Amino acid sequence: MEIIDASDIKPVLENQLIVPLFILDSLMMPGDSMMMRVFEPRYKQMLDDVVIDSAPYGHVMTNLSIPQIKGWDAPFDVGTLVEIGDLEENGSNLLYSAIAGKRFRIISLITPELENIDFGGIFPSAHDLEIEYQDKNPNGKLYLRALIEILPKLKGTVEINKWDNLIALWESYIIQIADITGFDKDDPQFTMEFNDKIKLQNDENIWRLASMVIDTIDEQVTCLKSQNTKEVVSMIESNIQKKLGLIKFFQQSNE
């Protein structure tokens, strides 16, 4: 990823976008959703911008192995576009629901205008900070942005019997977890996991399973970069097998 200043932004090509980046300690798979709370001025400015423009932002994960940018953490080069919903104020915080969609790859990072400053938990307004750079660069932002390339949908499918075996393996894992935790298998939340919809092979279900079982950073990043269905399904299967192996070890050690 190259790093550029806001003044060096060039016209974007087809299938490219310039988006704000929300850098957190986790990734979101396509279809994931979560409630978010924003209190930092840079991200309040970001939310104002995406709401005004009816545009998404990019959800990315902190990559501690690369240098910071003006004192701010830099991200891995892959993420998901997020649409916001149910935005509301709660005191000095902004609350909203984040819904992840298309995957993307970062081409260039666009630096924020100001260095990271420790305000000791008492933040100035975004407007007060904007005044510090607006004369110099009125197009600058408090937050990190990126020129991104939208990644295409997964290519291909897996054989029907392989998909059916994957679903059976996943169901076995869920049942064993329920047995260990004492979760009521008649609970509607539990039975929802076994409805016929999840058994269909499609992108939605593939990413849903990936979100539930792939939990290491390296594998999540690899998964989001994947080009074909077989690669993601293989990672899902491998992770379920590992989890089943841990359950077996746990059970044997308690006999």
pLDDT single digits (tens) 145-157: 999 999 999 999 9
pTM score, whole prediction: 0.89
How far is the C-alpha of 88 from the C-alpha of 72, rounded, in Å?
26
Show the tokens assigned to 253. 């050690």
Q: What is the mean pLDDT of the chain?
A: 89
Tokens at 221, concatenated: 């990043």
State the Cα angle at 117 between 100 and 65, rounded to 5°: 55
Higher pLDDT, 247 or 205: 205
Residue range 197-218: average pLDDT? 91
Strands 145-150 and 93-110: antiparallel
Residue 192 reports pLDDT greater than 90: no
74 touches 68 (CB < 8 A): yes
Which amino acid type is present at position 29? M
Residue 112, CB half-sphere, CA atoms under 13 Å: how many?
Answer: 26
- Choice among 68-82, 214-228, 235-249 with the minimum mean pLDDT: 235-249
What is the pLDDT, as a whole number, of residue 185?
Answer: 63
pLDDT confidence tier of residue 253, bands split at 50, 70 and 90: confident
Q: What is the pLDDT of residues 134-143, one digit of tens each?
A: 888 888 899 9
How far apart CA 142 and CA 113 sit, in angstroms, is: 6
Give the chain's largest Cα–Cα span.
71
Band of residue 125 on the pLDDT scale cut at 50, 70, 90: confident
Q: Residue 29 above 60 pLDDT?
A: yes
Structure tokens at 45: 């400015």
180: pLDDT strictly greater than 80: no
Nearest to 106 by CA among 20, 26, 227, 226: 20
> pLDDT category, 130, cuts 50, 70, 90?
confident
Please tell me the distance from the alpha carbon of residue 199 to that of residue 156, in angstroms, as a whole number: 17
DSSP 43-96: HHHHHHHHHHHT--EEEEEB-TTS--BTTBPPBPSEEEEEEEEEEEEETTEEEE
Q: What is the pLDDT of residue 187?
A: 67
Q: How far apart are CA 86 and CA 70, in angstroms?
A: 32
pLDDT tens by residue, 17-28: 999 999 999 999
Give the Cα separation of 229 and 236 in Å (integer): 11
Query: Domains of the chain, with CATH numbers?
Result: 2-150 (2.30.130.40), 160-253 (no CATH)
Q: Cβ distance 203 to 9 under 8 Å?
A: no
The more confident residue out of 207 and 181 is 207
pLDDT of residue 195: 60
Tens-digit pLDDT profile for residues 92-111: 889 999 999 999 999 999 99
Label residue 252 exposed, middle or buried (CB < 10 Å: 0-12, 13-18, 19+): exposed
Q: Which segments of the chain are extended strands (E)?
A: 2-4, 16-24, 33-38, 57-61, 78-90, 93-110, 145-150
Find out whether 1 and 106 touch, Cβ atoms under 8 Å: yes
